């Protein structure tokens, strides 16, 4: 076994948390049952890893086998990458053939749901591919969509785009303004699967009690002052966001170039023709759930602005807004 | 403080509220809540402040020496007056503090991984960092790593820096006797453990007290307005605000960056009194930003917590962190911070 392959396997296994090790090795399906049984999983990680590498050597693991292990690790740790979304189309576009002078390592792994995981390690004409900074592409073969992990090696982006387009028999590729760590959520948004009713949701409880957390056993002499308003807000929020858990995004970014119009004082910037140039970024561990809670908390009006509520529907979280 | 005309903003009591009515009613309530919230800090701050300008004394400032103060993040503390501190004993203080640090580290307290016990402490004065002649001289304390090789006399790397200053501190200076030196503003850069050790030594030696200086939203708004008001030849950074939204269970941060020329345009539009900044102008400036944001997103930024402001002059975080970017307005920024520090002490 090549030394670089051995090193690569060693570093990949070292990344794997102990509680996932057996699962990942089984999914890899490279080491035999017999070999796996010889392993003492209680020993210190250093020695465990060395033992595993020796076993791989016995079986003459190739670079491709190592790459496959890396794919599986990444599948288990999708959230460590940030994913972009590309949409391909047939139609007038460049029919090109290109010549691939650069050395690359390409590996594939198919999963259920018609998804293919592709791993590409990039090299140049003169250097071997760098196995430690690969790009991942998840391609759903029945669809024109591909999800790619944001690569630090930006110069490879056009090459990747071309390769994808050709390989999937399309003619054009466009990067969507959608990006997140959560591949599942991106999928749900892109394929419009996010409005499934949550299974364990109890829809028999009256709206009031469920959402407002009111205690119906409370003294009937105590009333909520603005209960009508609260209910209105709840209703609108529900209509906008639905009853289901929201797909998970971490941010939304808006580039605004709009004129200033104030309700406060008509004279402020009244003569100014130029728009205000603003960049607004919303960040949250779970953006859509946070936005959903704003109106009920009194921090936002209901209905919330369509600029925010359109995110899953328009499949975007990057926007450029100009005055019409 | 409430610039709202009461007649147009009384919430109507009709049972069927039109959306516009609700908006007006809510905004009125928001404004009221804002005023109350601002007043709870009970700061006897002047309703007007001078726009920071170059101090006449700034010609004495050695640009080389103050260059290192810029573009660094400083953690802020207020400091009560130092008892029997003397500028002629700086060498002695260096020696004593050095010994103290070595002793503390050998005790096993606050040892960082890989840290060297070979350190050197230097006290030095920084000329020109003051507002008036009455202000005491600012001074600097630095911890440097000492070179291991005896043959090399080179200064090692600076591990920690702290400096003490007082800009326009008249209100404090007037209240203390001759034995006290007033340097109410302390800024530190470097490991927290070192700050703690230095702090302990100063407290023991000069009977003073350090207290972290937080900056609340009210003061951050003032800083944003004043720094936007500063005339700049060119802008090195965008003007940016960060709000933290108190929603649960997920947190939400909103960052609002505006082109500095546009921020200045808004400011120039609300600014009336030349050379001064008033409370009303600060409020109006912020309200413009809030209302532009609300128009697009229907979110009331005024109901959230302002956590950070950043301009080409300086940036400040509510946790008491500051970074000064512009040499020209260094004294002005420090003057404002000195004022906050003095208020915290009193």
pLDDT reported for residue A211: 46
pLDDT reported for residue B5: 37
Residues B291 and B241 reside in one and the same domain: yes
Q: Structural domain tally of chain B?
A: 2
What is the value of ipTM here, to two decimals?
0.81
Helix axes A3-15, A45-58, angle to 10 degrees: 140
pLDDT at B170 over 80: yes
pLDDT reported for residue B12: 40
In tens, the pLDDT along A2-19 reads 888 999 999 999 999 999
Residues B294 and B194 reside in one and the same domain: no
pLDDT reported for residue A192: 86
pLDDT reported for residue B51: 62
Whether chain B has a CB inside 8 Å of the CB on A306: the answer is no
Q: Is B221 exposed, middle or buried (0-12, 13-18, 19+ CB in 10 A)?
A: buried
pLDDT reported for residue B15: 41
Over pLDDT 90: what percentage of chain B? Answer: 52
- Domain interval for residue B284: 215-318
Over pLDDT 70: what percentage of chain A? Answer: 86
CA distance A312 to A306: 11
Residues B70 and B179 reside in one and the same domain: yes
Whether chain B has a CB inside 8 Å of the CB on A304: the answer is yes
Whether chain B has a CB inside 8 Å of the CB on A236: the answer is no
Stretch A159-174: mean pLDDT: 78
Q: Is B266 exposed, middle or buried (0-12, 13-18, 19+ CB in 10 A)?
A: buried
Q: How many Cβ atoms from other residues are within 10 Å of residue B297's Cβ? A: 23
pLDDT reported for residue A90: 81
pLDDT at A265 over 60: yes
pLDDT reported for residue A311: 92
Structure tokens given for B65: 């020496």
pLDDT at A239 over 80: yes
In chain A, what residues touch B23 (CB-CB under 8 Å)? 301
Residue B10 lies in a domain: no
Interface A–B counts its CB contacts (< 8 A) at: 124
The domain boundary residue, chosen from B164, B181, B212: B212
Do residue A262 and residue B288 have CB atoms under 8 angstroms apart? yes
Q: What is the mean pLDDT of chain B?
A: 81
In chain B, what residues touch A260 (CB-CB under 8 Å)? 266, 288, 292
Q: What is the mean pLDDT of chain A?
A: 84
Residue B307 lies in a domain: yes
By three-state DSSP, how is residue B127 classified? coil
Residues B273 and B203 reside in one and the same domain: no
Please indicate whether residue A112 or residue B302 has the higher confidence score (pLDDT). Answer: B302
Residue B236 lies in a domain: yes
In chain B, what residues touch A305 (CB-CB under 8 Å)? 296-299
Stretch A152-158: mean pLDDT: 70
Structure tokens given for B69: 């103060």
CA distance A202 to A210: 9
Residues B92 and B198 reside in one and the same domain: yes
Point out the least confidently predicted range of A138-142, B59-63, B87-91, B309-313: B59-63
The highest-confidence range among A13-17, B18-22, B168-172, by mean pLDDT, is A13-17
> What torsion, rounded to 10 degrees, do the Cα atoms A45, A51, A57, A58 define?
-150
Do residue A280 and residue B303 have CB atoms under 8 angstroms apart? no
Stretch A51-71: mean pLDDT: 92
CA distance A252 to A312: 11
Stretch A15-44: mean pLDDT: 89
Residue B22 lies in a domain: no
pLDDT band for position A89 (cuts 50, 70, 90): confident
pLDDT at B46 over 90: no
By three-state DSSP, how is residue A54 classified? helix
Stretch B28-40: mean pLDDT: 46
Do residue A301 and residue B256 have CB atoms under 8 angstroms apart? no
Residue B178 lies in a domain: yes
pTM: 0.80
Do residue B245 and residue A262 have CB atoms under 8 angstroms apart? no
pLDDT at B38 over 70: no
Whether chain B has a CB inside 8 Å of the CB on A240: the answer is no
Stretch B37-50: mean pLDDT: 54
CA distance B229 to B238: 14
Please indicate whether residue A98 or residue B328 has the higher confidence score (pLDDT). Answer: B328
Cα–Cα–Cα angle for B227, B233, A279, nearest 5°?
A: 60
Stretch B309-334: mean pLDDT: 93
Residue B334 lies in a domain: no
Question: Given 3-state DSSP classes, what are the helix, strand and coil percentages for chain A, each rounded to the nearest 5?
Answer: 35, 20, 45
- Could you tell me if B181 and B49 are in contact, meaning their C-beta atoms sit under 8 angstroms apart? no
In tens, the pLDDT along B179-209 reads 999 999 999 999 999 999 999 999 999 999 9
Q: How far is B269 from chain A (nearest CA, A)?
A: 6
Residues B273 and B155 reside in one and the same domain: no
Whether chain B has a CB inside 8 Å of the CB on A279: the answer is yes
Contacts of B150 (CB under 8 A, 6+ apart): none
Do residue A276 and residue B248 have CB atoms under 8 angstroms apart? no
Please indicate whether residue A35 or residue B45 has the higher confidence score (pLDDT). Answer: A35
In tens, the pLDDT along B148-160 reads 555 555 667 889 9
The domain boundary residue, chosen from B212, B231, B255: B212
Residue B161 lies in a domain: yes
Stretch B11-35: mean pLDDT: 42
Do residue B253 and residue A282 have CB atoms under 8 angstroms apart? yes
Residues B230 and B189 reside in one and the same domain: no
Stretch B320-325: mean pLDDT: 95
Residues B107 and B128 reside in one and the same domain: yes
Among the partner residues A269, A289, A298, nearest to B250 by beta-carbon distance: A289
Structure tokens given for B322: 């500051």
The domain boundary residue, chosen from B164, B196, B212: B212
Whether chain B has a CB inside 8 Å of the CB on A260: the answer is yes
Please indicate whether residue B244 or residue B171 has the higher confidence score (pLDDT). Answer: B244
- Which of B245, B270, B300 to probe the A interface (max A CBs under 10 A)? B245
Do residue A260 and residue B266 have CB atoms under 8 angstroms apart? yes
Whether chain B has a CB inside 8 Å of the CB on A286: the answer is yes
Do residue A281 and residue B303 have CB atoms under 8 angstroms apart? no
CA distance A77 to A24: 11
Residues B174 and B120 reside in one and the same domain: yes
In tens, the pLDDT along A91-133 reads 766 555 555 567 888 888 988 778 899 998 888 888 888 899 8
Please choose, from the candidates A202, A189, A308, A318, the residue with its C-alpha nearest in 3D space to the C-alpha of residue A246. A189
pLDDT at A205 over 70: no
In tens, the pLDDT along B93-104 reads 999 999 998 888
Among the partner residues B23, B291, B299, nearest to A294 by beta-carbon distance: B299
In tens, the pLDDT along A270-302 reads 778 889 999 999 999 999 999 999 988 889 998
Residues B122 and B255 reside in one and the same domain: no
Q: How far is A45 from chain B (nearest CA, A)?
A: 23
- Could you tell me if B253 and A284 are in contact, meaning their C-beta atoms sit under 8 angstroms apart? yes
Residues B84 and B204 reside in one and the same domain: yes
Q: How far is A305 from chain B (nearest CA, A)?
A: 5
Please indicate whether residue B112 or residue B317 has the higher confidence score (pLDDT). Answer: B317
pLDDT at A203 over 50: no
Residue B11 lies in a domain: no
Alpha-carbon distances of A112 from A67, A109, A116, A204, rounded to whole Å = 19, 10, 9, 35
CA distance B135 to B168: 6
Structure tokens given for B304: 């959230």
Please indicate whether residue B222 or residue A1 has the higher confidence score (pLDDT). Answer: B222
Residues B148 and B114 reside in one and the same domain: yes
């Amino acid at each position: 076994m090549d030394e670089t392959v051995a090193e690569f396997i060693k570093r990949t296994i070292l990344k794997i948390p102990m509680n996932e090790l057996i699962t990942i090795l089984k999914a890899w399906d490279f080491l035999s049952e017999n070999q796996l049984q010889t392993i003492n999983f209680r020993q210190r990680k250093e020695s465990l890893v060395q033992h595993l590498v020796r076993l791989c050597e016995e079986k003459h693991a190739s670079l491709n086998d190592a790459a496959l292990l890396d794919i599986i690790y990444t599948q288990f740790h999708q959230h460590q990458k940030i994913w972009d979304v590309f949409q391909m189309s047939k139609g007038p576009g460049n029919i090109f053939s290109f010549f691939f002078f650069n050395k690359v390592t390409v590996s594939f792994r198919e999963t259920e749901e018609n998804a293919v995981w592709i791993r590409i390690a990039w090299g140049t004409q003169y250097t071997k591919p760098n196995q430690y900074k690969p790009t991942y592409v998840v391609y759903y073969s029945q669809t024109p969509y591909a999800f790619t992990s944001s690569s630090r090696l930006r110069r490879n982006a056009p090459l990747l785009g071309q390769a994808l387009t050709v390989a999937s028999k399309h003619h054009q590729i466009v990067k969507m303004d959608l990006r997140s760590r959560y591949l599942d959520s991106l999928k749900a948004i892109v394929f419009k699967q996010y409005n499934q009713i949550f299974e364990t949701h109890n829809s028999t409880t009256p709206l009031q009690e469920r959402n407002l957390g009111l205690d119906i056993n409370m003294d009937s002499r105590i009333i909520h002052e603005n209960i009508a308003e609260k209910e209105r807000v709840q209703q609108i929020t529900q209509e906008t966001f639905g009853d289901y858990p929201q797909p998970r995004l971490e941010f939304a970014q808006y580039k605004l170039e709009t004129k200033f119009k104030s309700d406060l004082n008509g004279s402020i910037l009244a003569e100014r023709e130029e728009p205000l140039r603003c960049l607004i970024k919303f960040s949250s561990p779970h953006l859509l759930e946070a936005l959903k809670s704003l109106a009920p908390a009194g921090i936002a009006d209901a209905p919330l602005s369509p600029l925010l509520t359109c995110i899953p529907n328009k499949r975007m979280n990057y926007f450029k807004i100009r005055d019409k | 403080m409430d610039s709202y005309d009461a007649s147009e903003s009384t919430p109507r009591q009709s049972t069927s509220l039109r959306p516009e009515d609700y908006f007006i009613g809510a905004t009125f309530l928001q404004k009221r809540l804002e005023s109350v919230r601002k007043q709870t800090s009970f700061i006897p701050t002047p309703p007007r402040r001078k726009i920071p300008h170059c101090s006449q004394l700034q010609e004495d400032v050695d640009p080389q020496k103050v260059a290192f103060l810029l573009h660094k993040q400083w953690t802020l503390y207020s400091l009560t007056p130092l008892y029997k501190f003397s500028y002629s004993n700086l060498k002695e203080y260096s020696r004593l503090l050095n010994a103290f640090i070595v002793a503390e580290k050998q005790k096993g307290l606050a040892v960082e991984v890989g840290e060297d016990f070979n350190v050197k402490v230097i006290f030095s004065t920084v000329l020109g960092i003051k507002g008036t002649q009455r202000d005491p001289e600012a001074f600097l304390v630095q911890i440097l790593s000492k070179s291991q090789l005896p043959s090399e006399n080179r200064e090692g790397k600076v591990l920690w820096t702290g400096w003490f200053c007082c800009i326009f501190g008249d209100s404090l200076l007037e209240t203390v006797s001759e034995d006290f030196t007033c340097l109410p503003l302390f800024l530190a850069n470097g490991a927290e453990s070192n700050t703690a050790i230095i702090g302990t030594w100063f407290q023991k030696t000069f009977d003073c007290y350090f207290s972290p200086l937080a900056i609340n939203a009210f003061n951050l708004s003032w800083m944003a307005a004043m720094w936007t008001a500063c005339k700049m030849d060119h802008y090195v950074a965008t003007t940016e605000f960060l709000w933290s939204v108190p929603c649960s269970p997920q947190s939400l941060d909103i960052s609002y960056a505006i082109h500095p020329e546009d921020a200045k345009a808004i400011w120039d539009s609300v600014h009336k009194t030349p050379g001064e900044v008033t409370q009303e102008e600060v409020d109006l400036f912020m309200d413009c930003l809030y209302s532009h944001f609300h128009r697009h997103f229907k979110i009331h930024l005024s109901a959230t917590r302002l956590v950070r402001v950043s301009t080409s002059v300086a940036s400040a975080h509510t946790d008491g962190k500051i970074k000064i970017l512009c040499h020209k307005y260094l004294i002005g920024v420090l003057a404002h911070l000195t004022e906050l520090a003095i208020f915290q002490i009193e």
